[in-house]
Amino acid sequence: MRLTNTADLWWKNAVIYCLDVETYKDGNGDGIGDFRGLTQQVDHLDRLGVTCIWLMPFFPSPDRDDGYDITDFYSVDPRLGTLGDFVEFMRTARDRGIRVIADLVVNHTSDEHPWFKESRSSRDSPKRDWYVWKDEPDPVDPKDLVFPDKEDSFWELDEGTGQYYLHRFYRFQPDLNTGNPEVRDEIARILGFWMELGLSGFRVDAVPFLLEGVDGDPHEFLADLRAFLNRRDGSAILLGEVNLPYPDLMKYFGNGNGDQITMCFDFIGMQRFHLSMARKNPQVLAEALRERPRPPKDSQWASFVRNHDELTLDKLTDSERQEVFDAFGPDKDMQLFGRGLRRRLPPMLGGDLSRLKLAYSVMFSLPGTPVLFYGEEIGLGENLEAEGRMAVRIPMQWAPGGGFSDDPKVSVPSPTGRFGPRNVNVDSQRRDNDSLLRWVTLLIERYRESPELAWGAYEVLDAGDEAVLAHRADAEGGTVLAVHNFADREAQVELYLCGVDDSKVLVDLLVDGTQDVPPDGQVRFTIGPYGCRWFRVAEPDQLPEDASAKGS
């Protein structure tokens, strides 16, 4: 493939790494992560192969919802540093060729934001219509509650003005009225401000909620935001959190136009992946891949194993969800809201390195852009003693002693035992050729060398064994094949590769070696328990990278 194409649309085969500044690295010894600490660890991300850092909220906040309750969209939380520290971090990341995006959380504010304080000061306030007010609350279906353990309504009475304000999340997070043109103009200013400081885009929080209350066609609002983004920087992106069935989600790309959200997370594929892991059978994931619509030309899917929230399983049936609970979170304390798990993958799999390597090999080979949550590269665990979703937002483990901070008093302590810092840390795994860190680094390297995986037309293949997921990706004359055995037994793989004959060989991209192709294109080989194989179709004695560049 032409490298100029992959460079222009950088997000289509990027490697995105989500992190929370507060839990990544403490640079001043006060027990809280900050931009100075993060800046000192940029080289870790560079060595890993990350091409884009996604920052969770770092804005001033009362911190009642881990920074998602924002009081100022134009500054940095003093606990995390200053705007000067932010700019130094941006400069360092840019020097390593790493782009940065940040959370755009504008569906609500904190109730301590000056806008809301002014809005609730009087029914005649100039900012009254910046939020959503009603004399009487609407009825609420309990199934629609985002946080059913904390809230029983979307409406909260404001004693001072005698009206109710809307809050789709916590009561201390009043919803902005995005149907108000003034609010929409302010949101555009927020984008413009941070883009001037170097951001290459935004991860848009809770996109469907953001559009609620917009009169007419609410998707015009997304199209306007995207147009504003493109005017300021044509290469900037919007990465959307849209947890909806595929047919409903396609609207957020802009249907066939691709003029709204640039990239959408594949929540359906993620949930089917975990069900496949629980069953040790990938057929439900294969079904999702066959069902998944192709996004507009310059848009993309984002693939992930888990994100910073609970591992939601809401799009599975009740019985399917129970299968995942039984396999990976049988204790009620491991579950959240009855719909998800507050666990990270390594403890879910009992620390089984072979299954962990399988999981991330699958993620990086799936059609789309891979997104890592910080610590996944080393098998970071969880702390179930923390409240709710904070169980997975634990300090990054840099060294056997922890390495996050010199201050032992941190808001969410590290786990102990098998997944504690002594056994799981960056420093030790960098020196271990068989570690998860080395494996993920290799996967990223091979993924970046195989643009067909992100750009190509893909096809799920019949592998001759239902425990095996096999798919191929083709683009501009290049072909990459990925084969994964989800079972704890050997599998005999039989694949028919249309258009491939004995003039070609399959070059193994994860280990040294090649696989011959018979004249009829019917390839047969054995793959071990939880085995992973990536192949490139090439001519004998041809370098894999030359086979990839055939179309250029």
pLDDT for 551 beyond 80: no
Predicted local confidence at residue 362, as pLDDT: 98
Predicted local confidence at residue 552, as pLDDT: 37
Cα-atom radius of gyration of the chain, to the nearest Å?
Answer: 24
Relative to beta strand 16-19, strand 369-373 is parallel
Predicted local confidence at residue 255, as pLDDT: 76
All residues at 6 or more sequence positions from 380 whose CB lies less than 8 Å from its CB, including other chains: 344, 346, 374, 394, 396, 397, 419, 424
pLDDT for 550 beyond 60: no
Assigned CATH for 3-107+181-447: 3.20.20.80
Predicted local confidence at residue 549, as pLDDT: 62
The answer to whether the predicted template modeling score (pTM) of the entire model surpasses 0.95 is yes
At 42-74, the pLDDT tens digits run 999 999 999 999 999 999 999 999 999 999 999
Cβ proximity of 502 and 516 under 8 Å = yes
Whether 314 is a known active-site residue: answer no
Q: Give me the mean pLDDT over the 207-224 stretch.
A: 88
d(CA 429, CA 418): 15
Q: Give me the mean pLDDT over the 331-347 stretch.
A: 96
Which token pair is 159? 């004693």
At 150-182, the pLDDT tens digits run 999 999 999 999 999 999 999 999 999 999 999
Q: How many CB atoms lie within 10 A of CB 334?
A: 18
The catalytically annotated residue of 22, 66, 111, 241 is 241
**Lowest-confidence range among 270-284, 348-362, 493-507, 535-549?**
535-549
Backbone angles phi, psi at 336, to 5 degrees: -145, 130
pLDDT averaged over every residue in the chain: 95
β-bridge mates for residue 164, sequence order? 134, 157
Percent of the chain with pLDDT over 70: 99
Q: pLDDT-based confidence at 142, cuts 50/70/90?
A: confident
Give the helix ranges, DSSP H, for 266-388.
267-279, 283-291, 318-328, 345-348, 353-365
Tell me, yes or no, if the two domains 114-166 and 456-538 fold the same way: no
Whether 217 is a known active-site residue: answer no
In CATH terms, 456-538 corresponds, of 3.30.420.240, 3.90.226.10, 2.60.40.1180, 3.20.20.140, to: 2.60.40.1180
Domain boundaries, the chain: 3-107+181-447, 114-166, 456-538
Domain 114-166, what fold? Oligo-1,6-glucosidase; domain 2 (3.90.400)
Cβ proximity of 275 and 236 under 8 Å = no
d(CA 350, CA 329): 11
Which token pair is 142? 């309990």
Greater model confidence, 40 or 547? 40
Percent of the chain with pLDDT over 90: 90
Backbone angles phi, psi at 368, to 5 degrees: 140, -175
Amino acid at 273: F
Residue with tokens 């200053």: 82
At 390-420, the pLDDT tens digits run 999 999 999 999 999 998 888 778 999 999 9
The catalytically annotated residue of 85, 103, 205, 382 is 205
